[in-house]
Structure 1
Amino acid sequence: MEGSEARPHVTRRREMNTVSARSLLMTLLGEYVLPRDRPPWTSTLVEALAAEGVEEKAARQALARTSAEGWITSDRVGRRVRWTLTPEGRHLLTEGADRIFTFGRTTPATPPWDGHWLMLLVTVPETRRDLRHRLRTRLTWAGFGTPDPGIWINPNPAREQEAREVLQDLDLSQGAMSFTAAHSTIGSQQAMVTRAWNLSTLEADYEAFATTFSTANPPTDAEAMRTQTRLVHEWRRFPFLDPRLPHELLPTDWTGTKAVEVFHTRHAEWHAAAQRGWDALDGG
C-alpha cells in the first residue's frame, strides 16, 4: 500500500454482518491480535473460527478478503504463514475497540438532555426505491428515526454534520431542510419516539444478550476464549442498532442498561482466561 489514496475503506454494512466469517475474523483480530506484538498463524485463526462453526474454506476466504482490503498482510515462515495487522488495520480495530467499550457508558460529566431535536425534511420520489432505501439505511445508522415519511429526527443536534454528509453523498441536499426545535404541547413526545424507532425489538435483543451471557460459566481457558469471542461479537451489533436516545426518552427499566453491565462485567471476568486460551491456541 502506498500513500493515503490506498487507505482501505470499511462500511457499516460490513460491520453489521454478524454471521459472516469475515466479521468473526475481525472480532478475533480486535480481541486477541491487536493487544499483542506476535502475529498469529493461519492455523490459529482457522481453528479459532472453526470453534465458531466456520468451515476451513470459508475461514481461508475471510483471511484472503481481509488481506485484499488492506487490514492484514501475510508473511511466510517456512511452510507456515502468519498474519500481521497493517497500520490501517490497527487503526480500524483500535477505533472499533473504543466504540465497543465506551458504548452505553455514561459518566457524571454527561450533561442531561436539553430537550432539543434535530429535524430533517427530505423527500425521495416513490419511483426511486433504491435511493429511498440507501437514505433510510444511512440515516438509521446515524441514529435518526422517522415518525412519518419524509421526516427524520435525532435528539442530538450535533449530528447535523453527519446528516449533511449523507445528503451530499446521495445528492439529496437540494430541497432538504433542517431545524432545531423542542417538542411543544400538541401530541405526545413519547408517542413520536415510539413511531420513529422500534425500541421493542431492540429491547428484546438486549434482553436476549443479557440472559445468554449472564448465565454463562466457561469452565476452561479454551471455553472462556470461545465465550468471550461470542460476547464481543454479539455486542458489536448494538452501537449500530441502538440510536442512543437520552434516558428521558427510553422506557422505564430499559434493558439496554442491564446489557451494558453484563457485557462489561463478563468481559472483565473472562479476560485473563480468554487470553490464556488464545496463547495456548497460538503456541504461546
Structure 2
Amino acid sequence: MNVKITPRTIVEAFLPFSGETALRDIYDAANLAGVEDQPIRLAIRRLVAAGEVIQRGRGRGGSLGVTDAGRGRLQRDRYSVALAFAQDAGALPWDGRWRLTAVSVPERERAVRDVLRRELSDLGAVAISTGLYVSPHDLRDALQTEAGQYLSTATCDDLDVHGENDPRLIAEALWPGAPVIDAYSHIERALADDDNDLSSPGVVRQLRLAEALERAMRDDPLLPVELREGPWAPTRIRAAWAQRWDALQTAPGGKIYEGWWEAGLDAFRPHRPPMSKTRVSVES
C-alpha cells in the first residue's frame, strides 16, 4: 500500500526558501496525490496560526510565504536531513567527545524549563540524571537563542554512565538501535511501492518519498555511525532513498523542496575549539 501523504507534507514541500509560492501549485499537487482541498486549507490555517507562514489572497489565486519563525523551523528540519547524509558519507566523523547540557531553571519559570527539555529531547539528547542531558552533537546553536542563561555545558571524551564507559554500549543503552531500524521500514515500503508505480506523476512519487523519510527520521537521534554497530541499516536505506530521489528530480512536474537542501548543507559551520579533556561519571 502506498504511503499516505499528509496535507502538511504537501504544503511544506512547496514552501520557498525566499519569496512566495502559488497556492494553485499546492492544491494541484495535492489533488494529483488524492488529497482534497479542505485538508490542505486546514493545514495552511494551522501553519498561519503557528506564525510560520503568511497567506496572501484566498483560494487558488493566493500565495504563501514563510516567516522568520517558519524558516527557522524548516531549516532545522533540513539540517537534520543534511546531517544524516553527511554522517553516512563520512564527512562528519565523530570526534570522540560527548556534549553535556545541564538545564537549571527557577521553578517560577517551569514552562521555560519544559520547553528546553522538550527541545533537547527532540534534538536527540537523553537525560542521564535530573536536568543533565548528553549527546554526541553540540546542540547549543540549535536551541533557542535566549536559552544560554539557563544552561551549563561541558565536553568530555571519557563518559561513564552507570558503570559503562564503552561509547558504543553507552549509545545502545541510551539510544537503542532496534526501534530506529524498524522506523526505516517506512522508506523500504515506499521504495518497493515506487518500484511498482508506473503511472503516478513524478511530484506525487517524490511526496511519498518525502513522507516516508520524515516518518523514518522522526525519532532518529542521528548518532554518528561510529557509535552504531556496522553496517548500520539506516545508512544503506537512506542511500537507496537518495538515489531514487535524485532520479525523480528530473521527472516531469517540477521540483519540490527547492533551496532547502542547500540551506541544510549551509547550516554546517566549523565546530567550536574543543574544550579541555575532562572525565565525567554518572552514578546510579
Q: Sort the TM-score into its range (normalised by shorter chain).
A: 0.5 to 0.7
Note the residue ranges of structure 1 that are not aligned, 5 or more in a row: 1-17, 279-284
Candidates 228, 233, 239, aligned match of 1:255: 233
Contiguous gaps of at least 5 residues in structure 2: 257-284
Specify which of 42, 54, 63 is matched with residue 83 of structure 1.
Answer: 63
Match of 2:246 in 1: 268
| TM-score (norm. length: structure 1) | 0.65
Aligned residue in 1 for 2:212: 234
Find out whether 1:209 has 2:187 as its counterpart: yes
Distance 1:147 1:70, change over 3 A: closer
Question: Partner of 1:182 in structure 2?
Answer: 157
The answer to which structure, 1 or 2, has the higher relative contact order (CA under 8 A, 6+ apart) is 2
Match of 1:219 in 2: 198
Which residue number corresponds to residue 173 of structure 2?
Answer: 195
Which one of 86, 100, 121 corresponds to residue 106 of structure 1? 86
Assess, with a 3 A threshold, how the Cα gap between structure 1 residues 162 and 112 changes in structure 2: closer, same or farther: same
| Structure-to-structure mapping, 1:148-159, within 5 angstroms | 148-156=129-137, 158-159=138-139
Percent identity of equivalent pairs? 19
Shift of 1:228: 0.9
The one-letter code sitting in structure 2 at the alignment partner of 1:40 is: A
Q: Is the 1:210–1:258 contact (alpha carbons within 8 Å) kept by the matching residues of 2?
A: no
Aligned pair 1:22/2:2, yes or no?
no
RMSD over aligned CA atoms reads 4.4
How far 1:256 sits from its partner (Å)?
A: 1.6
CA distance, structure 2, for counterparts of residue 118 and residue 38 of structure 1: 39
Shift of the 153–70 alpha-carbon distance from structure 1 to 2, 3 Å rule, reads closer
- Aligned equivalents of 2:176, 2:113: Cα separation in 1: 19
- CA apart distance, 1:81: 1.4
Q: Per the alignment, in what secondary structure is the counterpart of residue 178 of structure 1?
A: strand
Residues 4-45 of structure 1: CA deviation (Å, up to 9, x unaligned): xxxxxxxxxxxxxx9753343112x14xxx499995354x53
**Post-superposition offset of 1:98:** 5.0
**1:209 CA drift (Å):** 1.3
Determine helix, strand or coil for the equivalent of 2:85. Answer: coil
One-letter identity of the residue aligned with 1:183: D
Task: Tell me the residue number matched to 1:62.
Answer: 43
What does the per-residue CA deviation read over 1:40-66, in whole Å, with 9 as the maximum and x for residues that have no partner?
Answer: 354x53343245454432222333444
CA contact (8 A) 1:25 1:45 kept: yes
Question: In structure 1, the residue corresponding to 2:194 is in which secondary structure?
Answer: coil
State the 1:205 CA deviation: 0.8
State the 1:86 CA deviation: 5.6
Q: Return the alpha-carbon distance in structure 1 between the equivalents of residues 113 and 70 of structure 2.
A: 34
Judged with a 3 Å threshold, the aligned counterparts in structure 2 of structure 1 residues 100 and 263 are, in CA distance, closer, same or farther, namely: farther
Q: How many residues align?
A: 247
